[in-house]
Structure 1
Amino acid sequence: MTLDIIRLLVDTGFLILIWAVQLVIYPSFKFYTSKNLMIWHKEYTFRVTFIVLPLMFSQLVLSVYQFWHLQNWYTISSMAIVTMLWLLTFLIFVPLHQSIDKAKPVNNVCQKLVSKNWMRTVLWSALFIISVINVISN
């Protein structure tokens, strides 16, 4: 199995995950009471971490490795998108999730998760598309 195929598998995993988060998981948060959301959210974030962390670190390591060894349209755009995704995740989404866990949600936190997550949904979808193009062209 080539590195490009492994990368495509990781990007496919994220494509599936981000669309499930965008269309099912985040929208479902609005159906919880504040107390129940806080209880469920702690469990949700604990569980989803076992899926998200390996994918994020795999994607980062593979992107850096590919970029380090070859700079072309794919590795440059891929590295830029992965960097944007990490920044969005840790600057916007981690604080939003922490506000739920601390029982101090910002106004309309559930709606903000859904609306702001479109940025990550588009970026992870684009990353998947360029990975497919890269595999096909190689």
Structure 2
Amino acid sequence: MQIDIIRLLLDFGLVVLIWIIQRIVYPSFLHYSTGNLVTWHRIYTSRFSTIVIPLMFGQLGVSIYQLFTQTSFYTVSSLVIIILIWISTFWIFVPIHSIISNENSSKSDLVTLVNKNWVRTILWTLSFIYSLFEVLDF
């Protein structure tokens, strides 16, 4: 299997997941009581991490591999997009999830989570579209 197809599959998996998170999971947090939210959030994050973490590391690894084996505007710019996703994940979203897990979240924090997550949703969508165009040779 070509590395470009592997990359496309990883990007597709992540774009599907981020749209589910953005449109269903994060907005649903607004409908939980604080106690139920904390309980569900701890379960959700541990389960979801087993899916998201391998995909994110796979995407990053393949992107770095592509950069060194076929350096082009595509490989450089797609790695930049992925790095922006990682930075936003650890700079913005990990702290918000920590607030939720520590039972300190407010409705405002949950709304912020949904609103700011559009950044990752857009970046992962662009990453997928970009990979799709690369595979289709547009």
Query: Shorter-chain TM-score: what band?
Result: over 0.9
Q: How does 1:1-138 map to 2 (within 5 A)?
A: 1-105=1-105, 108-137=108-137
Aligned 8 A contact 2:18 2:121 in 1: yes
In the TM superposition, what is the alpha-carbon distance from 1:70 to its structure 2 partner?
A: 2.3
The one-letter code matched in structure 2 to 1:134 is E
User: How has the CA–CA distance of structure 1 residues 88 and 78 changed in structure 2, closer, same or farther, with 3 Å as cutoff?
Assistant: same
Gap runs ≥5 in structure 1:
none
Pairwise CA RMSD: 1.2
Q: Following superposition, which runs of at least 4 residues in structure 1 exceed 4 angstroms of deviation?
A: none
**Structure 1 stretch displaced more, 107-116 or 32-41:** 107-116
Alpha-carbon distance in structure 2 between the residues aligned to 1:70 and 1:5 = 14
**Whole-angstrom CA distance in 1 between matches of 2:107 and 2:88:** 19
**Tell me, what secondary structure is at the counterpart of 1:108?**
helix
1:99·1:105 contact (CA, 8 Å) conserved in 2? yes
- How many pairs were matched up? 138
Q: In the aligned structure 2, how far is the partner of 1:51 from the partner of 1:114? A: 20
Amino acid across the alignment from 1:17: L
User: Are 1:96 and 1:106, in contact at CA under 8 Å, matched by a contact in 2?
Assistant: no
Deviation of 1:106 (Å): 5.4
Identity %: 46
Opposite residue 115 of structure 1, the aligned amino acid is N
